[in-house]
Structure 1
């Protein structure tokens, strides 16, 4: 008998379905959210880009499913979903990239290494937002220090307004708490450097990630790494979609025109 999987698998949601796009971008949302987090991006990216977002169980359209509480399991599932998508529907020029914000950035980083080790592929560009480099204190430390401070602090960490009723609170906080458990149980691995280019984004006033350390992500690749800092805190991205997408577009096009050496 085949053992039952401990969690439902991550899924992909095609936000644009642009079959003639030259660049495919897989997007991993932050804690507690689903693919809907990236809907504001759709109108901002040109037709050159095809946007595909990750949907994790327990949030968004998958609210009724149990959340994943293991980062390794989630990252492996994301890598498998991306690898299957690349096989069944390869990008027009074979170029693809991965982006993640906050908890989603950690998942994107872990999934990228699993793509390389299991599927012998890695993105042409990996973009990471609001996440400390591996050699620094992680999001897990911030969670550990503040989780016992109550709902107000949790709401601040998530970057949302407090839910108006109990039913909505369960919908909002349950996946976040599952992600907190995953972070607190996570053991960081030492990965060899990637070949992919890196784009690193962060807020100048982020209490969870020191913006002065973002350049240290450069040690995680043999290619070049660009760092972009924006006004705001951990969730600077929500109020500066056009600015972030503009910088990301520049980096994607630069990588597309001049691929990193293998």
Structure 2
């Protein structure tokens, strides 16, 4: 169900490259109602959102973010700084996203942090279309960021942590060659998110919706609700059954919630 940045072995994904950081798997509708930018978790890749693109591309222009160091970018060095990730992504989005339709971000776990800082970049730069809505999933609020030391674990302990979070089939990492492909990206991503410190009082100007699983071992509802302090606009909290990767088994309910919030943004 959930990849950890492995190459797409045994299958060829339809692919459109709006730029190095963005993947469009199912084309762009002639009259897209909104642009939906989806940011994956630590160790994840753009293909995590392939099924989202399949489900939503009839209405939205779905762009999945591909961090360097995985899948078709596996030869590029991983970035270990949230600011560097956000700055590079913001630059590409400013050039690739049209200004004539709403722009929505969805970021899961690490993707929520990178999404938050990318939005701040776009707002500060005076982009022609700053984001209109931010859905922050499976992540405590930026002000509650802390270093849990996961990026300093041994390879074996890191694999155990991935298994505890769920969503990744860690049995594939029993193969040393596959582990050598995947673990550097996982470690780099955890380094980025665990060394991230937001500016004091950092906020975005768009509405924020925080989403999480009710049994997530990494974030409590109270920690997710603290996203309220990071927007000058409206805030909402949505809790789903499940753990850190609640959006796997609960995909239909999550997609329904995402589309409901986008429809509200569109005035539907």
Does the TM-score normalized on the shorter chain lie above 0.5?
A: yes
Asked if the contact 2:113–2:142 (Cα under 8 Å) also holds between the matched residues in 1, the reply is no
CA offset digits 1:68-87 (Å, max 9, x no partner): 1111100101111111112x
1:64 aligns with 2:75: yes
Q: Which runs of 5+ in 1 are unaligned?
A: 1-8
* Cα distance in 1 for residues equivalent to 2:76 and 2:108: 22
CA RMSD between the two structures: 2.2
1:172 aligns with 2:178: no
* Cα distance in 2 for residues equivalent to 1:30 and 1:94: 26
- Aligned-pair CA distance for 1:103: 0.6
1:153 aligns with 2:161: yes
Asked if the contact 1:40–1:241 (Cα under 8 Å) also holds between the matched residues in 2, the reply is no
Task: Note the 1:34-73 alignment, pairs <5 A.
Answer: 34-45=45-56, 47-73=58-84
Task: Note the 1:76-95 alignment, pairs <5 A.
Answer: 76-86=87-97, 90=98, 93-95=100-102
Q: Which runs of 5+ in 2 are unaligned?
A: 1-18
Asked if the contact 1:83–1:119 (Cα under 8 Å) also holds between the matched residues in 2, the reply is no
CA offset digits 1:12-65 (Å, max 9, x no partner): 112332231111101111111211000011232262211011111111221222
Asked if the contact 2:45–2:70 (Cα under 8 Å) also holds between the matched residues in 1, the reply is yes
1:133 aligns with 2:144: no
The number of aligned residues is 244
Asked if the contact 1:147–1:154 (Cα under 8 Å) also holds between the matched residues in 2, the reply is no
- Aligned-pair CA distance for 1:174: 1.4
Structure 2 CA distance for partners of 1:191 and 1:53, relative to 1, 3 Å: farther
CA offset digits 1:117-167 (Å, max 9, x no partner): 1234421101110010123244x33636x8357131244346312224111
Residue 116 of structure 2 is matched in structure 1 by: 109
Structure 1 ranges of 4+ moved more than 4 A: none
1:205 aligns with 2:215: yes
Asked if the contact 1:69–1:179 (Cα under 8 Å) also holds between the matched residues in 2, the reply is yes
Scaled by the length of structure 2, the TM-score of the pair is 0.83
Asked if the contact 1:125–1:198 (Cα under 8 Å) also holds between the matched residues in 2, the reply is yes
1:118 aligns with 2:125: yes
